[in-house]
Amino acid sequence: EADIYQTPRYLVIGTGKKITLECSQTMGHDKMYWYQQDPGMELHLIHYSYGVNSTEKGDLSSESTVSRIRTEHFPLTLESARPSHTSQYLCASSEYFGANTEAFFGQGTRLTVV
Amino acid sequence: QQPVQSPQAVILREGEDAVINCSSSKALYSVHWYRQKHGEAPVFLMILLKGGEQKGHDKISASFNEKKQQSSLYLTASQLSYSGTYFCGTEILMDTGRRALTFGSGTRLQVQP
């Protein structure tokens, strides 16, 4: 069983609010990812990290920001939520490279902005 | 930079076979395959590294042709439990010079009794 956790699982919030989605893993993985997924649709890479203080933007332009101050923690922040941010956000982690770069996914946060 | 998957959807009867294809316009370090059931997180099936290897996992196997930047997932004698959306994940070099895992649009597979 994967040791990667996301909170909250569900969030309904008003437009303009600041929110932080939490993601933590206990596997000591250096690589961590955030993906955005609309129901039944593709996974879009929005942010990734290679380790502490190393973050990059992914393919999909996103108004969110991330930080990586500790190896196990990779929070995603939206400074001002909008209805267009309504989606599911999936966090994942993996080892750095090689045969064991299987990505372990959290259960996701389903965000609704009203 | 996302890989392209085909077909988008497939419906099978139990016991039938299916092939899902994945191709990338970028050089691949590895290819991953995941299955996601409705309302759940994607679950890892297998990883293929450079070297044109083929892997198997029960009645699910995959191949990887790094020269063609393509991979295929083979499901034989499908079972009801195989239903879900299959995603191909490609480990590629991003514009930042770092490797990252990007996913295709998925293939929705439904196995009927």
What range defines the domain where residue A15 resides? 4-113
Stretch B25-30: mean pLDDT, rounded? Answer: 88
Q: Taking 90 as the threshold, does the pLDDT of residue B113 lie above it?
A: yes
To the nearest whole Å, the CA of B48 is away from the closest chain A CA by: 8
What's B74's domain CATH number?
2.60.40.10
Residue A27: what pLDDT? 92
To the nearest whole Å, the CA of A96 is away from the closest chain B CA by: 9
pLDDT in tens, B51-102: 756 666 678 999 998 889 999 999 999 999 999 999 999 988 888 888 889 9
Residue A101: what pLDDT? 78
Q: Decide: A80 and A89 in contact? Cβ < 8 Å.
A: no
Write b or e for each residue in B80-97: b if 16 or more Cβ atoms lie within 10 A of its Cβ, otherwise e: eebbbbbbbbbbbebeee
Stretch B41-46: mean pLDDT, rounded? Answer: 91
- Cα A86 → chain centroid: 14
Residue A39: what pLDDT? 81
Q: Taking 80 as the threshold, does the pLDDT of residue B18 lie above it?
A: yes
Q: What is the number of structural domains in chain A?
A: 1
What's A9's domain CATH number?
2.60.40.10
Q: What is the number of structural domains in chain B?
A: 1
- List chain A residues with CB under 8 Å of B25: none
Reported as half-sphere exposure (CB side, CA atoms, 13 A), residue B94 has a value of 18
Per-residue tens of pLDDT for chain A, all 114 residues:
569 999 999 999 999 999 999 999 999 999 999 999 998 789 999 999 999 999 999 877 778 999 999 999 999 999 999 999 999 999 999 987 666 678 999 999 999 999
- Do A99 and B49 make contact, defined as CB atoms within 8 angstroms? yes
Residue A2: what pLDDT? 61
In this prediction, residue B50 has a pLDDT band, given cuts at 50, 70 and 90, of confident
What is the average pLDDT score of chain B? 90
- List chain B residues with CB under 8 Å of A90: 41-42
What range defines the domain where residue B8 resides? 4-112
